[in-house]
Amino acid sequence: MRIFEPTMIQQIDIFIHTLLLSAQSQNPVNMTEKLKRLGIDTVSLLAFGYPLNTQVDPKYQFLIDAHTFGNYRVNLFMQFPLLKKIRIYNFLEVFFAKEVRRYFTTIENMIASRVAEDKHVRHDLYSIVADEMNSDGEQYLKDSKIWAEAGFFFPAGGETSSTLLAAAFFYLSRNLSAYDSLAREIRSSFQAGNEIKAGPILASCKYLRACLDETMRMSPPAPGTLWRELSPKDTSTEPWIVDGHIIPPGVQVGVNTYATHHNEEIFPDSFEFKPECWNNSNLSQDQKALMNAAFQPFSIGTRSCAGKAMAYLQSSIALAKTIWYFDFQAASGNLGKLGGGSPSLGKGREREGEYQLYEILSSTHDGPNLVFQSRVDVIGEISN
């Protein structure tokens, strides 16, 4: 993480520059679009040192929609495994043959160009796992573990962080008290934007971390149920018991992340954005322990997200730098309502102050639309 951080910050600085252009034109910014580009550009460099440059060049922006479509497919197979067995996707793929070929060609070129280089030419994921994943050097690329991991790494590494940040911008733009508290913390902790990086100062920004945690509590980037079942290799003679129920082999069980995060017995007023609850000294130790145990946006156990540290670091730096350089607010009129709930969306989606996620294994979303204003006393740091 320490070695990769300069590359991460470079991509965040590009993101900041795109916001500056929007601030100068006073055009509303759809944060989902901006943040997904930041996410995929960062993860492509982390994985294979490959510059997609989607933040400034439209050439590879189609990959973002391709990954979303791929997540729909994977989620469909996870919820209905029979559909995979009957190979219905092979039939559907005919209608998207051109787009599918374009996507796979790009991923293949990306991996092949990295494999052609010395594995230690740069510090990326490939340099760490190359020997383990493709030790014989003879595997057909699309049958290799590297290919399989790339298919997972891009949506898992890029889209989840972009969802976290999009939701955070949504909640901050609609909760002015939280916005003001975060702005005071960031603008009093640092002396210049280039100081915003991993270290003791960023770690001391407790309200920043609380804003991210509260965002993931209300709108977890992976909001669905992560199913589990007893392994076929389990040789234990003891039954698997969950809450007093014996779970037979082959039966899947799971606890829905979104439902857990909105359990009123653990998180009172669970549909209100209250970052201060994470730093509330008046809470008992038992209540704090219960909240921390129930808060699991990265899952738990052996399947816990390996990118947790990266997600926190990237999101912390991106949000802190944005707050340092800009003020922002929701766009006016109906444009500014994008991302929020509405009675017209149906039961459970009527809350205007809740960022709307749609589960596709990870999640898809749209908005918020924000208008940015440069902070006059600091914007000179980046205007050139």
DSSP secondary structure letter of residue 331? P
Q: Counting Cβ atoms within 10 Å, is residue 228 exposed (0-12), middle (13-18) or buried (19+)? A: middle
Question: Are 141 and 110 contacting, i.e. CB atoms less than 8 angstroms apart?
Answer: no
Alpha carbons 55 and 37: distance in angstroms, whole number: 5
Q: Token pair for residue 7?
A: 């590359």
CA gap 274, 260 in Å, rounded: 17
Measure Cα distances from 6 to 12, 73, 236, 313 in Å.
10, 34, 48, 12
Burial class (CB in 10 A: 0-12, 13-18, 19+), 39: buried
Query: Quick one: tokens of 339?
Result: 């991302």
277 is in an annotated binding site: no
Q: For residue 58, is it left (φ>0), alpha (ψ between -120 and 50) or beta? A: alpha
- Give dist(CA 337, CA 28) in Å, integer: 12
Rounded CA separation 122/35 (Å): 25
Query: Are the CB atoms for 15 and 372 separated by under 8 Å?
Result: no
Output the CA torsion 7→11→12→15 (10° steps).
170
How many angstroms separate the first and last alpha carbons of the chain?
28
What tokens were used for 266? 């653990």
Buried b (16+ CB within 10 A) or exposed e, 240-255: beeeeeebeeeeeeee
Question: To 5 degrees, how large is the angle CA 96–CA 97–CA 98?
Answer: 95
Give the closest residue to 176 by CA, choosing from 164, 184, 188, 165: 184
Binding site, annotated residues for heme: 305
Binding site, annotated residues: 305
